A and B are shown apart, each in its own frame.
Chain A
Amino acid sequence: MSGILTPDSGKCQVNGLTPWEHRRRHVQSIGVVFGQRSQLWWDVPVADSFLLLRDIYRLDNATYRQSLEELTSLLQLEELLQTPARQLSLGQRMRCEIAASLLHRPEILFLDEPTIGLDAVSKIAVREYIKRINKERGTTVILTTHDMQDIEALTERIIFIGKGRILQDGSLSDLKKYCSPWKTLTVEYSGGDLAFDSENAFLPGLALQSAVPGRAVFSVDTKTLSVSQAVSALSQKVEITDLTVTGASAEEMVAALYKEYQV
């Protein structure tokens, strides 16, 4: 879709153009960030790379300066602009890369694994920036990622691709159907003992996973028993001091999807 590769077969239209046939016209209106490669010139300050991009995309000075100001404040680049790219940390570089790809105000932004290798703080920050860019500039963002938290934080529509075909096209909640119905309930309690035998005659749909005095972990089959029913039943037996409910992790959901389609 970015026009870099030519496919063996099939059709694709972006903004009315076929990307690989009209590459130079097409790329004028898209921005691309590859998480694992850098588009900034290595040995010159970031600001110089930006100036070169201004010339490459033929922006007039006023547009360029306005765009640069917006992006500098949005991504907090004030201190980074005069640093050569090779001296930036990965998180700092990623912010500069995103800015570089947006200088020419593209309508579409392609992000290929933008949070890969980033520390937790930078990941959250980058996600925030992407959301704001989408909201404030109305940029369409097409994200490729294996990071489930990226997906949960950013996406409205998910297209699941495998072996050259579209396998699923829907929202995150559609995909969550593939979640297993089991929820894990971790209970810390006092005034009783929940460590009864794992054959579980207590309540169908509630199975004890592990127990030490004062703390028990249960799985709840939400098809038979709702979480609130389980909690109220347990609270009638003991006094609950702390309670955690977790669903199947997003990774498990994706693994289930992969398995279903044998991808």
Chain B
Amino acid sequence: MKAYAAYFRIRFTAGLQYRAAALAGVVTQFAWGFLSILLFAAFYRTDPASFPMGFSQLASYLWLRQAFLALFASWIFDGEIFSLIQSGSLAYELVRPLDVYAFWYVKNLALRLSRAVLRSFPILTVAALLPAPYGLSLPAGWDSFGLFLSSAVLSFLLVTAYCMLIYIATVYTLSPLGVRMVAVAVTDLLTGGIIPLPFFPDNVLAVLRFTPFAAMQDLPFRLYSGHVAAGEAAPALALQAFWLMALVVLGRAWLNRGLRKATIQGG
């Protein structure tokens, strides 16, 4: 355990060094946030009744998403892992008395968390100061806030477990490009990264709600704003926990099989 904690610490502190990148990220996230708000505001003015949630709830959703992008985005990967798979330095991971899945998992957690720490506070602060309904409003209540935090942790772990599957696919395919492109395009849409999930047509949502995608970032934001009432949260959280366990178990089995069959190329 100590090794994983030590590795987390090393990667986390290393991640905190990238201040310029964080600044650039913050600016990007502001741009995205403002543009999304303007876009939805235009639709809202046309027909408020067709919206599945109130505008201030939507604004909170969008700002939270931007602030915590590093935690929940499904397209944030650690390039080192891809390159060590492709170059064969994977051999060194196998020569350590370590669980490779756990090692990579912890590395990803550290990467995302260090980025989130650097970027979230400026965005949260500015969004909170914006005039209602365009800014980040207060949570719907203490219980909503507590549920938001629990769900956010589960989402964070779930998204990381999902990304592990992409790394594991690369162990089989060597080049990550194809898998990444398809996975990122599909996942970003289905997790509510382009438009929030409540805006999807009802028949699509009915199926989507049971997939891991719905559990990956949509739920915490809606818990925060009360769109999902505190009393109704339990089954959704249970589903998150279920998908987390399922993806971890699946990932580990898949990785072990891949490593057994691995060939280290390049002498």
Q: Interface residues, chain A, CB within 8 Å of chain B?
A: 2-6, 20, 23-25, 27-28, 30, 32, 34, 36-39, 41, 43-44, 48, 51-52, 55-58, 113
Q: Given known contacts A6-B260, A48-B10, A52-B10, is B97 in contact with A24 (CB within 8 Å)? A: yes
Instruction: Please tell me if the beta carbons of B97 and A39 are within 8 angstroms of each other in the complex.
Output: no
Name A36's contact: one of B7, B262, B267 (CB within 8 Å): B267
How many A-B contacts if CB must be within 8 Å? 62
Any chain A CB within 8 A of the CB of B226? no
Instruction: Please tell me if the beta carbons of A2 and B95 are within 8 angstroms of each other in the complex.
Output: yes
Of all chain A residues, which has the CB nearest B84? A37
Q: Mark B243-263, 1 if CB is under 8 A from A, else 0.
A: 000000000000000001111
Residues of A within 8 A of B94 (CB): 3-4, 23, 27
Q: Mark B98-139, 1 if CB is under 8 A from A, else 0.
A: 110000000000000000000000000000000000000000
Interface segment, B64-72, B85-93, B164-172, B190-198? B85-93
Residues of B within 8 A of A30 (CB): 95
Instruction: Please tell me if the beta carbons of A5 and B263 are within 8 angstroms of each other in the complex.
Output: yes
Instruction: Please tell me if the beta carbons of B95 and A37 are within 8 angstroms of each other in the complex.
Output: no
Residues of A within 8 A of B91 (CB): 4, 32, 34, 37
Q: How far is the CB of A40 from chain B (nearest CB, A)?
A: 10
Instruction: Please tell me if the beta carbons of A56 and B97 are within 8 angstroms of each other in the complex.
Output: yes
Any chain A CB within 8 A of the CB of B2? yes
Of all chain B residues, which has the CB nearest A43? B14
* Complex-state Cα separation, A32 to B91, whole angstroms: 10
Any chain A CB within 8 A of the CB of B153? no
Of all chain B residues, which has the CB nearest A32? B95
Residues of A within 8 A of B95 (CB): 2-4, 27, 30, 32, 39
Of A37, A41, A58, A113, which is in contact with the most chain B CB atoms at under 10 Å from its CB? A37
Of the A-B pairs whose beta carbons lie under 8 Å apart in the complex, a sample of 8, sorted by A's number, is A3-B95, A27-B95, A27-B96, A34-B92, A37-B89, A38-B89, A52-B7, A56-B96
Name A57's contact: one of B10, B97, B264 (CB within 8 Å): B97
Of B87, B95, B261, B264, which is in contact with the most chain A CB atoms at under 10 Å from its CB? B95
* Complex-state Cα separation, A36 to B88, whole angstroms: 10
Any chain A CB within 8 A of the CB of B235? no
Would you list the 5 A-B pairs with minimal beta carbon distance, nearest first? A55-B3, A55-B6, A56-B3, A24-B97, A4-B94
Instruction: Please tell me if the beta carbons of A41 and B96 are within 8 angstroms of each other in the complex.
Output: no
Q: How far is the CB of B198 from chain A (nearest CB, A)?
A: 42
Instruction: Please tell me if the beta carbons of B89 and A58 are within 8 angstroms of each other in the complex.
Output: no
Instruction: Please tell me if the beta carbons of B6 and A5 are within 8 angstroms of each other in the complex.
Output: no
